[in-house]
Amino acid sequence: MKELPLTEPVFLILLSLAGQPRHGYSILKDVDDMSRGRVKLSTGTLYGALRRLLAGRWIERFKEDDRPRGRQAYRLTALGRRNMQLEVSRLKRLALVANLRVARKES
Amino acid sequence: MKELPLTEPVFLILLSLAGQPRHGYSILKDVDDMSRGRVKLSTGTLYGALRRLLAGRWIERFKEDDRPRGRQAYRLTALGRRNMQLEVSRLKRLALVANLRVARKES
DNA sequence: TTCAATATGTCGTTGCGCGACATGTCGCAT
DNA sequence: ATGCGACATGTCGCGCAACGACATATTGAA
Is A98–B88 a contact, with Cβ atoms under 8 angstroms apart? yes
Express as a percent the part of chain A with pLDDT over 90. Answer: 70
Answer yes or no: is pLDDT of A97 > 50.
yes
A73 strand-pairing partners = A23, A62
CB count, 10 Å around CB of A11?
21
Please answer yes or no on whether A101 and B35 come within 8 Å at the CB atom.
no
Q: φ and ψ at A13, to 5 degrees? A: -60, -45
* pLDDT exceeds cutoff 90 at A36: no
Q: Could you report the per-residue pLDDT of A14-27, keeping only the tens digit for each?
A: 999 999 999 999 99
pLDDT, greater one: B53 or A106: B53
- The per-residue pLDDT for B2 is 54
- Residue A7 is predicted with a pLDDT of 92
Mean pLDDT of chain A: 87
Which helix (H) or strand (E) covers residue A44, if one does?
A: helix A43-55
pLDDT of residue A99: 92
Interface of B to A at Cβ within 8 Å reads 4-5, 7-8, 11, 15, 18-19, 34-35, 38-39, 81, 84-85, 88, 90-92, 94-95, 97-99, 101-102, 104, 106-107
CB A27 within 8 A of CB A16: yes
pLDDT tens per residue, range A52-86: 999 999 999 987 655 555 568 999 999 999 999 99
**Confidence (pLDDT) at A69:** 54
CATH architecture of A8-103: Orthogonal Bundle (1.10)
- Residue ranges of domains in chain B: 8-103
Task: List per-residue pLDDT tens for chain B, 107 residues long.
Answer: 556 678 999 999 999 999 999 999 999 999 999 988 888 999 999 999 999 999 999 999 987 655 555 568 999 999 999 999 999 999 999 999 999 998 865 54
Q: Where on the phi/psi map is residue A87: left (φ > 0), alpha (ψ -120 to 50), or beta? A: alpha
Order of strands across the sheet that contains B73-76: B22-23, B73-76, B59-62
Q: Cα(A23)–Cα(A74) distance, rounded to whole angstroms?
A: 6
